[in-house]
Structure 1
Amino acid sequence: MGQDQIDRVGDAIGGASGGASEAEGRTHLGPAVWICGGLMIAIGLTTSILLLRDFQSDSYLYLAFYSIPANTAISVFPHEPVLIYFGKVADLWLAAAWATLGTAIAGVMDHLVFVPLLNLQNIRAYKRKRFYRKAISWFMRWPFATIVATGFAPIPFFPFKFLAFSIQYPMGKWVAALVVARFPRYYLLALLGATIPIPNWVLIACVAVVFAMYLVKAIPEGVKRWKARHQADTGQG
């Protein structure tokens, strides 16, 4: 699939999603992107506080709320330990349903943010990369089935989100695929918690390990960027 064909596919899909073809020519991000981005950060911070204060909660609303930042495209919140815990204390079907609701909300927010972002004119050069062209050629054969399969399987999901957003896959189909993929995944995770007596401290440790892995990568990179900016400012001074 050539670059012109990829762009035509993106335009066609964008038209079906209602105005996404405009994103192909965007040179800046609209207010919806910044609003959703801000909400993602706010929800993530609030959820962090809830995790530290009340991890023992069996509230379905809390589970739905947690599932939003846990399923955004860029997230440091693992959903697996939390679903396993809820399987120990809650109804399996309700736990899966509320977690899926939060995931659907996250899917809408992701779509509103990353479709315009990945189709900005000044960063769309990645679409000419050979690896991307091969990946998108394969993805476009069965986009809905691919999203469902990879969303259900225990593999990194972000690369497939990237492909879907890069071609402006319609929001309705995107959210539908998420629901079809994630509901059975969440049910099985909750069933695991209901079947196998996994201690709570093990689940908390899993969450802590995930956070630590991100911090190990993020802190040195942040320090490196701060030093580079400081040196640049000093040189200018």
Structure 2
Amino acid sequence: MMSGLHPLPKLVVALVWLATAILVFDLWFQIALAFTAALALILLDRVSPLKVLLLTIPFMLFGFGFLTTSLVFRQEADFALHVAEDTLVRSKGFSAGLILFFRAVACGMVSMAFALTTDPGRLVRALMAGWRLPPRVGYALFSAFELVPDLAGAANEMRLARAMRRGRPPRRLPGPGEAASLVVPLLAFAIRRAGRAAIAMEARGLAPNRARTIIDCPRLAARDAIFVAVSLSLLGLLVVLAARGWAI
């Protein structure tokens, strides 16, 4: 469901949710925000709960750094420690670190909900049409989208060629020495592709002040307005509950 929405309203909603997660220093608010984003992915876009959990691990590790810093070094800001007095945990250092931990998870979940449900190509076309993204920047982004899978394919071909020369099958994952030996060839491959992309941009006449047609540009619909209204209303409800101390 969210995959079919217009990218720009969805981007605005994600930015508002991220800004609110940073500004509202409340433990239960961060937990509710992370849970809501995960629930939206699972129920609206049919994303596997296991996949959501696995993708959350990097954000948990990042938030764990805040938690350990609070416990070991006890160098949190005065505002964080003052707000932490209202939580269920009596230790100020642990309480502030716990809030920062769940804030990292909440911000990661909101970002992940946007990334998993937004096609990069549609986002770039919407930015070019709606927010006047320069054509040179848009074409460079399109080239980067094509370059990343090509780099992976080139690296795989190099590993296969070396394995055939050595007479044994390649390892499932390259070791440190093999990975380091692939850096220079892949860098040369990327430089060649960048040169070709620059020539193509000149050939297409991507001047900054010329009118041009954007094909397959997403258009706003009524469901986008409904999504924005529901998302911001839900966020406002969570903020009000957090301000009242979650007293219903």
TM-score interval, normalised by the smaller of the two chains? under 0.3
Structure number having the greater helix percentage? 1
TM (normalized to structure 1)?
Answer: 0.25
Max radius of gyration: which structure? 2
